[in-house]
């Protein structure tokens, strides 16, 4: 059944409509221990949720694991869920990814609705049908493609976010700008993130989500052009996995930002991406995200982590690279020397 994405103007009315369209015997709401305190109060008095049962998991990416999935399954079973029940995932990308997987596999699949509450999940995680969890130290190693029935995107939740979470989501917006067109990219790298105008940000979000929707609609299962959305993620997921192994997990968007620095270097050296646009983008990233703390002694471990990326074929590390803004080249490779040079650039500029 086709997913419907709603850019929200009246959250209560839209959620009531979505719930009414998912015929169900029981309704459940999944949150994490941060979202339940910051976001549940915004919607808890809606009439359509008066009989909903709550399931809460620990927050942060370190808990995006099989134990949390098992907890959701256990609670659904304990609270009487059937294959005709519906799960609302209220939270960031961790909740929508993990909750989507739990719903997709419980009783061979129940309906679910995503209400993303972070900028990152509004822009990236809740749209496109990717569900899953981290496994064996690797990001999103286990999962399935399965669309939620509805995604309701409401900027009302942005007021609950700190600046680090705004920045995390903005990195994915910047990626969408790089793979779309020069005007979108230019608007993004000139936006004042030190004092963000929420009204302007809201308008930019609506345009940004359309970039991903258009690509996902053309290639739902990532066999071709959807790989464009992986710009910055091959290196970024390696940085993210390394940070988790160190016991110092970073927000996903920060990892993608650092990954984009590496991969824009490869774009410039291998695809002749314009140096002025690369420098402007990298300068914007360094100004707002700082730099990832790693040394040349970490290069082999990062390369090993990159070798597990799901985009790889026959053990060859694949990148999405750009010849210019919007000039997308998927399934690109790089030598170990080139990748290590990109790490040098990321560390030293």
> What's the confidence (pLDDT) of residue 197?
86
Nearest to 84 by CA among 112, 46, 53: 112
Angstrom distances, CA of residue 150 to CA of 99, 101, 288: 14, 15, 33
Report pLDDT for 212.
87
Spatial separation of the C-alpha atoms in residues 112 and 82, rounded to whole Å: 13
Distance CA 233, CA 304 (A): 15
Distance from C-alpha of 36 to C-alpha of 55, rounded to nearest angstrom: 10
What top-level class would CATH report for the domain 163-348?
Answer: mainly alpha
In order, the DSSP letters of 29-77 are: EEEETTHHHHTHHHHTT-GGGTTPEEEEE--SGGG-SHHHHHHHHHHHH
Report the range of poorest mean pLDDT among 108-112, 208-212, 220-224.
220-224
What are the distances in angstroms from CA 291 to CA 47, 62, 233, 239, 283? 46, 21, 16, 11, 11
CB 271 within 8 A of CB 161: no
The whole-number average pLDDT for the span 297-315 is 87
Say if CB 322 and CB 332 are below 8 A apart.
no
Specify the DSSP class assigned to residue 124: I
pLDDT at 89 over 70: yes
**Gap between the Cα atoms of 312 and 211, Å rounded:** 24
What pLDDT does residue 1 have? 64
| Cα distances (angstroms) measured from residue 93 to each of 130, 276, 305, 317, 333 | 10, 33, 21, 25, 29
Question: What confidence score (pLDDT) does residue 2 get?
Answer: 74
Q: What is the pLDDT of residue 290?
A: 96
Chain region(s) in the chain for CATH 1.20.1090.10 = 163-348
Q: What is the rounded distance in angstroms from the CA atom of residue 96 to the CA atom of residue 118?
A: 11
pLDDT of residue 349 exceeding 80: no
Residue 108: pLDDT above 80?
Answer: yes
Mean pLDDT of the chain: 94
Using alpha carbons, list the distances in angstroms from residue 38 to 44, 86, 168, 246, 313: 11, 23, 18, 28, 42
> What span, in angstroms and rounded, lies between the C-alpha atoms of 302 and 16?
46
Domain with CATH 3.40.50.1970 in the chain: 4-160
Query: Averaged over 68-92, what is the pLDDT?
Result: 98
Higher pLDDT, 164 or 217: 164
CATH topology classification for 4-160: Rossmann fold (3.40.50)
pTM, two decimals, is 0.87
């Amino acid at each position: 059944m086709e997913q419907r994405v709603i850019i929200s103007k009246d959250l209560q009315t839209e959620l009531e409509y979505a719930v009414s369209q998912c015929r169900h015997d029981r309704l459940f709401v999944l949150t994490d221990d941060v979202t339940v305190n910051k976001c549940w109060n915004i919607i808890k008095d809606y009439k359509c949720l008066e009989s909903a049962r709550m399931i809460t998991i620990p927050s942060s990416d370190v808990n995006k694991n099989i134990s949390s999935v098992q907890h959701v399954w256990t609670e659904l079973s304990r609270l009487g869920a059937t294959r005709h029940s519906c799960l609302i995932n209220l939270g960031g990308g961790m909740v929508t990814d993990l909750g989507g997987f739990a719903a997709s596999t419980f009783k061979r699949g129940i309906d679910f609705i995503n209400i993303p509450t972070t900028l990152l999940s509004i822009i990236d995680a809740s749209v496109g049908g990717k569900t899953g969890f981290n496994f064996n130290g690797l990001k999103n190693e286990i999962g399935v493609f399965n669309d939620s029935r509805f995604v309701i995107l409401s900027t009302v939740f942005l007021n609950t976010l700190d600046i680090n979470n705004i920045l995390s989501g903005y990195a994915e917006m910047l990626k969408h700008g790089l793979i779309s067109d020069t005007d979108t990219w230019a608007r993004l790298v000139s936006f004042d993130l030190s004092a963000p105008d929420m009204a302007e940000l809201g308008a930019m979000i609506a345009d940004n989500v359309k970039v991903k929707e258009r690509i996902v609609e053309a290639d739902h299962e990532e066999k071709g052009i959807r790989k464009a959305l992986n710009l910055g993620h091959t290196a970024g997921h390696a940085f993210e996995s390394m940070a988790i192994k160190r016991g110092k997990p970073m927000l996903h968007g920060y990892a993608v930002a650092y990954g984009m620095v590496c991969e824009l270097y490869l774009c410039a050296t291998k695809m002749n991406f314009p140096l002025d646009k690369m420098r402007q983008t990298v300068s914007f990233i360094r100004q707002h995200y700082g730099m990832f703390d790693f040394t040349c002694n970490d290069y082999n471990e990062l390369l090993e982590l990159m070798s597990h990326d799901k985009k790889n074929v026959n053990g060859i590390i694949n990148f999405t690279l750009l010849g210019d803004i919007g000039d997308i080249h998927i399934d690109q490779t790089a030598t170990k020397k080139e990748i290590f040079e990109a790490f040098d650039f990321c560390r030293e500029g």
